[in-house]
Structure 1
Amino acid sequence: MQLDFFPSRTLTLYLAKLFVVRILAVLIMLVLVLLALDLLAATGDILAVPGNGQAEILHYASLRAPQLASRFLPYSVLLATLITLVTLNQNSEVVAMKAAGLSAHQVLAPLLLTAALVSGVSFGFNERIVTRANATLKAWEAAEYGAIPPKGAGPDGVRSNVYLTDGRNILSAATLTGAGENIMLTGVTWYERAASGIIREQIRAPRATFAAPGWKLENPERFDVAAATTALGSTLVVGKTLTPEQIDLQAVDPDSQSFWQLSETINAFEAAGRRTEEMRAKWWHRLSGPLSALLMPLLGSVAAFGLARSGQLFVRAIIGMALGFAYFVVDNAALAMGSFGGYPPFLAAWAPFFLFLLLGETVLIRTEE
């Protein structure tokens, strides 16, 4: 029995079923609670737009729910691990399994297999659903929950909160659609600054298109800061040194791109000599993030062993929870350091995973094997 990594087929299916049911129950509970709290904060802004109603609130919930599910799936796996193992320990099922000759790793094997499958599902869910929800929700928020501009020819559809520099001047747009010379900017603001950095003139326009060269603002409203006067016009061309290629590179949202699209974007940035550390760290984290679910049974395994009657079961559960949440803290800190260039992107994404993998194995071997 010790030579087989998995226990019997019946026991494997029994443990996997217990684990899956608890993962789904915890995930649904977390998503519903957090979505309800999020809706309390966002409903007022959504309904403030004329014409918005219950349909728009449900649309917001449909976009926000995948984000919450993706973010809190590893937490759900951790809590489900603790609930499953504590229940098995209290019912003396772990004692029975070890008395039958199973090692600690064999007891955990069905949970690890289930967590690996959850990691694969999480990766596919992020690529197919979450990235699209991110892009749509950010564009909708940029439009202040009003009508979203139609998608252009670009592969990424609508992008939001675009900021570009033309020397010391700044061009910002609420949304961007299209690609190349077909780019269309909406909610545009042009800031013309003096050599000292002080804004001399602010120009707002509902739309801007490529004028070859520059960007043509339609129906601009000019505000002279020094004179405090406003003037209206029909068209105005600004940012004559800004090319569509520069805008394509600067208007990138890594969270709204799939794994393969982000890989192509990184290659384009590197070819242009641009900084790619933040995107590279997020690219690696697209792989290490879903795999964090695989760590949770190992980090929470301390709750499975030890006699329930000893009075230390609660302490063991707290230790398992502390290890799991410590991983998320370290992972977020490392990713932030990688985004700012403090760590190499590969190290920022993978160091926490391997560190806590070794830590979990060490705790399990030293205490149970």
Structure 2
Amino acid sequence: MISRTSLPVPWLRLGRIERYVLVQQARSLGIALGVIAALIMLIDFVEVSRGVGSDVDLSGARILGLMLLKSPQVIIQLLPFVFLFGTLAAFVGLNRRSELIAMRAAGVSAWRFVLPAAGAALMFGAITVAALGPLAASADGLFQRERARLSGSAAGAEASPTVWIREGDDTRQMVIRAQRQDRSSARLLDVTFFIYTNDAEGMRTFSERIDADTASLSNGSWRLVNAVGAEIGQRAVRYATLDLPSSLADEEAFERFARPQSTSFWSLPAQIDRVEAAGFSSTAYRLRLQQLLATPLMFAAMSILAAAFSLRLMRLGDLARMSVAAVVLGFGFFFVNQAASAFGSAEVIPPWLAAWLPPLLTALAAFTLLFYTEDG
């Protein structure tokens, strides 16, 4: 008669195997992350010291602070390689110590320790997108602003460079160009307004140009001082002051759109709406949003790909060749990702396809190799 306590023993044994493999993977991932992060920070330290440090005299501590703001975003972008190298190192180590052979001889399917590793990568990808990514994006935005401030002060610039603003509605669009902006008094200097009208069919026609010494935004209207305006076919008219209705909030006139890499995952939907409301293309922001959503799948696919190559070592006995093949294939998918991003930014393919195609191809290749290795 079989006792009740004897039934769960095989499941406990499998659970311990899975936990053991996860611990080995986590250890290898930590080492891979440390090596890649150290290389990135070293490169960024040199780049910051030669870039910003050449424009203004900065102490070593200040350069180190700027490097710590810049590096996290780059490290997160290279996390797929952390999972590729880390998982590959973990399973190759298990294979060298004949632990994988012992597991397979005991009847343990490769899926029992490959899928938990992929699941852990999937969960870490979700944490990266939801928590680590926004922190890195904020740090990158702070680095960009600090670098612009230091470069501007080094050049002796008291005002920001040319400012472009676009606003309007279904009936009228305004493109605003200012040669300078004075943030202390919230004014645009040497400003030009290009005004377009939309007909019933949505066709946009240029109607008027207005040049002014200054323009300030307050209470839903632009106040232009010493302005000269001319409509098509009409003589120029001078105005001491001129008010133009505006749909912008007061703080938006002097706020530049943060670049997609400096925008957190949680802020991207609102940023997309703001960019489209201003009349600009939101393709780069939509592509960034879809890439962040596909990040967990990319991490999991890289883990499965590395594990699948490691499992074939038992049968082929060629450690160097298979390891190099896994690394080369990983870099190949990285270049596919870069090419897809370029096509998506150029609107050759939709942003969602450019973001999801590389991780899907990686996952399909990994599962194909794993099926062939395991089920044969």
Alignment TM-score > 0.5, same fold:
yes
Corresponding residue for 1:261? 267
1:77 aligns with 2:83: yes
Corresponding residue for 1:10? 16
| 1:213 alignment partner, one of 195, 219, 222 | 222
| Distance 1:314-1:7 versus aligned 2 partners, 3 A rule | farther
1:22 aligns with 2:28: yes
| Distance 1:247-1:279 versus aligned 2 partners, 3 A rule | farther
Q: 1:273 Cα deviation (Å)? A: 5.8
- Residue identity in the other structure for 2:335: V
Within a 5 Å distance, the mapping from 1:1-369 to structure 2 comes to 8-48=14-54, 52-144=58-150, 163-164=164-165, 170-171=177-178, 210=217, 212-213=221-222, 244=248, 247=253, 251-270=257-276, 274-308=280-314, 310-369=316-375
Deviation by residue 1:247-294 (Cα, 9 ceiling, x = unmatched): 589734222222232112223444566533322121111111243111
Corresponding residue for 1:221? none
Give the secondary structure class of the aligned counterpart of 1:31: helix
The 2-side partners of 1:80 and 1:183 are apart by 51
| Distance 1:51-1:312 versus aligned 2 partners, 3 A rule | closer
Q: Percent identity?
A: 24
- Residue identity in the other structure for 1:332: Q
The 1-side partners of 2:182 and 2:373 are apart by 55
More displaced stretch, 32-41 vs 138-147: 138-147
Alpha-carbon RMSD across the aligned residues, in angstroms, is 4.2
Deviation by residue 1:21-74 (Cα, 9 ceiling, x = unmatched): 111111111111221122112214444566632331121122023113211211
TM-score by length of 1: 0.72
Which protein is bigger by CA-based radius of gyration?
A: 2
The 2-side partners of 1:57 and 1:101 are apart by 55
Deviation by residue 1:87-134 (Cα, 9 ceiling, x = unmatched): 111221111111111222123123212212321221134443111012
Q: Structure 1: any 5+ residue segments left out of the alignment? A: 148-158, 194-202, 217-235
More displaced stretch, 126-135 vs 272-281: 272-281
The 1-side partners of 2:181 and 2:62 are apart by 20
The 2-side partners of 1:336 and 1:6 are apart by 48
Q: Structure 2: any 5+ residue segments left out of the alignment? A: 1-6, 154-159, 167-172, 195-211, 226-239
Give the secondary structure class of the aligned counterpart of 1:304: helix
Q: Does the 8 Å contact 1:300/1:320 carry over to 2?
A: yes
- Residue identity in the other structure for 2:292: R
| Distance 1:247-1:328 versus aligned 2 partners, 3 A rule | farther
Corresponding residue for 1:231? none
The 1-side partners of 2:106 and 2:143 are apart by 53
Q: 1:79 Cα deviation (Å)? A: 0.5
TM-score by length of 2: 0.71
- Residue identity in the other structure for 1:293: F
The 1-side partners of 2:245 and 2:164 are apart by 15
| Distance 1:10-1:332 versus aligned 2 partners, 3 A rule | same
